[in-house]
Amino acid sequence: MTIVDNAVYVDGRRTADPEGLEETYFLLRQREGMAWIGLYRPDAEELRSVAGEFGLSALAVEDALTGHQRAKLDYYGEILFVVLRPARYLDAEEKVDFGEIHICIGPDFVITVRHAESPDLHKVRQRMESQPEFLALGPDAVLYAILDQVVDEYEPVAAGLENDIDEIEDGLFGGDPEVSRRIYELSRQVIMFQRATGPLTGILQTLAAGTPDHSLAPELVDPLRDVLDHALRLAERINSFRALLQNALMVSATVVAQRQNDEMRRLTESSFAQNEQVKRISSWAAILFAPTLVGTIYGMNFRVMPELEWVLGYPMALGLMVGMGLVLYWTFKHNKWI
């Protein structure tokens, strides 16, 4: 159902609940009050009906039908067209879900076109209907209430992002291999949130200043400035989020590089230790090989060997074995192989 709520107000009090748009137009002309029509993803026929009755700009109608607009404020004579990007934080997915709402404000009407669940305009309508003297200020009071609701709904989003940043900071030195990916994804969420909220301060400042064709009631100036103050603080908070994430990304890159360097140093030290072991083994193998070589030669049972009948042959062979072993040992020791 595209018509979510549809009512005619007189002096801030709800006087009729029309069943259709045609009845709304009739009652509005008859009672000279204010119509507040809430639409949810309306079709072209419904929106063009509203546009024809209230004289909405074709550009505003096209934007409302198409959607996917950035937050902005446009004046079309006495008619004010505002686009807002409300948001809500999804805990389970750790991401921000962005909505879109188009608001047309005229001398005696408010038309809201939502393209998502947020913001909760039913809550706004209930709050305004409980303050008829404030609602009697007209469509601008409704616009203020919607802006206030949107900004209030930004606070849980900022709190959710801040909590994610705290978790990332805790995980930077905890060895979490996914921390860099989380930083990148969260940075994207923060940038999208900043794009949604960034134009809001300009919108509020323009509304507070007013124009020759559209000026606020004095009773609305201070409340609107309070919303502006909240929006400015929110913008500063989001800027700090981006700075923290940029620093976290740099720290993450540094930590990863340090870990890689430590791993390379550990591998180098391990390789060096292995080389030392190989040197020791090779050295002792060479020392043991020398007497083995001599013993092998003199162990040959050939009949014609001059040393076989030599009286000093045996002591010489032993001495040669020991001497070669000592020379090799001294050489390897001098070269620090053993």
- HEC string of 78-117? CEEEEEECCEEEECCCCEEEECCEEEEEECCEEEEEECCC
* Residues 253 and 274 placed together within one structural domain of the fold: no
Report the number of secondary-structure helices (H) and strands (E) in the chain.
9, 9
Residues 83 and 57: their CA atoms lie apart, in Å, by: 14
> Which range in 10-14, 28-32, 67-71, 268-272 is most confidently predicted, on average pLDDT?
10-14
- Residues 287, 253, single domain; the answer is no
The candidate with the shortest Cα–Cα distance to 118, out of 67, 157, 153, 161, is: 153
Q: Are residues 250 and 269 in the same domain?
A: no
Lowest model confidence (mean pLDDT) among 41-55, 153-167, 181-195, 301-315: 301-315
| Residue where a domain terminates, one of 234, 258, 282 | 258
Same domain, 239 and 133: yes
Q: Where are the beta strands (DSSP E) in 182-255?
A: none
Q: How many domains are contained in the chain?
A: 2
pLDDT in tens, 233-269: 999 999 999 888 888 888 877 776 777 777 788 877 7
The rounded distance, in Å, linking the Cα atoms of 277 and 328 is 17
Of 258, 285, 314, at which residue does a domain stop? 258
User: Residue 337: how many CA atoms within 13 Å on its side-chain side?
Assistant: 16
Same domain, 94 and 23: yes
Q: What is the mean pLDDT of residues 150-171?
A: 88
Are residues 247 and 127 located together in one domain of the fold? yes
Q: Do the Cβ atoms of 50 and 21 come closer than 8 Å? A: yes
**End-to-end alpha-carbon separation of the chain, Å?**
89
Q: Does 306 share its domain with 181? A: no
The reply to whether 192 and 155 lie within a common domain is: yes
- Do 55 and 25 fall into the same domain? yes
Helix, strand, or coil (residue 67): coil
Q: For residue 22, what is the domain's CATH number?
A: 3.30.460.20
322: containing domain: 265-334
